[in-house]
Structure 1
Amino acid sequence: MEKIQERLELTQKVLNKLHELASKTELSDVERDALIQRFEFSFEILWKCAKEYLYAEEGIDAASPKKVIRCCRELGLLDEEQTTQALQMADDRNLTTHTYDESFARAVVERIRTYDHLLQNWLENLQ
């Protein structure tokens, strides 16, 4: 449990950094790119934290982000709407890693602002 607690604390720090940029109304190109990168690693650390939680607390071994999200839904850690958003978030995370074009970057930034709240709620539910 101590390892999970450390992971939860680290995840909170990472999400605070994401929120720092996501809450800004105007972003320069550099800030926009930094927000996208912060989103990528915020999503990564949170789904892996949830994966560890599922295994330690519930004995569930889920190997992929989408499986972890669905398991969190089954346990009530995410509701139906949050699950739908989280699955879209996983898709966006994959696209941000492998695709870059200006119009996609602008569109995903707006979704990241919504994901910022979702990620924080998900973490709170794990705690």
Structure 2
Amino acid sequence: MIDYDNLQKALKHLEAQYANYKTLDPAQPPLIQEAVAESVIQRFETCYDALWKVLKRYLIEELGLPEVPNSPKPILRLANENGLLASTAELWMAYANARIGTAHDYSGEKAQAALALMEAFLSDATALYQRMSGQPWT
């Protein structure tokens, strides 16, 4: 049986911190603004990592796929081939690239590119969570 608790927790934390980021008062000091943005990116990384690992288990245990790779991009391609993703494989590859891009750099272009994907990622990730777990998103 697949345990979805860590994924659900990671998604909820990302959702909450992204809401903080979107409503952050621009009058806040730059250091505070940067800290909140970095927190969103860190929560995205945690959420993305939890998601692809649960997805791997789902492909093996629920769909019975015999050979599932051990890295995110091929797993996302398999998920797409099996009709699990609500949006395009290209968008999921953009999420993967954002995750790779922010691994050691939370400032500048890569951070802004990741932040720009957050709303779409949250929507797609919660849709995938619901599809895999069979549970509504609350």
1:11 aligns with 2:7: yes
Correspondence for 1:111: 117
Considering only aligned residues, what root-mean-square deviation do their CA atoms show, in Å? 1.6
Q: How do 1:26-45 residues align onto structure 2 when only pairs under 5 Å count?
A: 26-27=23-24, 28-45=33-50
Q: CA distance change for structure 1 residues 34 and 57 in 2, over 3 Å: closer, same or farther?
A: same
Amino acid across the alignment from 2:15: H
Structure 1 unaligned segments of length 5 or more: list them. Answer: none
**Percent pairwise identity:** 29
Provide the C-alpha distance between the structure 1 equivalents of 2:5 and 2:101, rounded to a whole number of angstroms.
27
Match of 1:121 in 2: 127
**May I ask how many residue pairs the two structures share in their alignment?**
122
**Residue in 2 aligned with 1:77?**
84
TM-score, structure 2 length as denominator? 0.79
Q: Which has the higher contact order (CA 8 A, sep 6+)?
A: 1
Higher helix share: 1
Partner of 2:136: none
Q: What whole-Å deviation, never above 9, does each CA across 1:43-76 have from its counterpart, x for those lacking one?
A: 0000000001111122322221111111111111
Higher Cα radius of gyration: 2
Stretches of 4+ aligned residues off by more than 6 angstroms: none
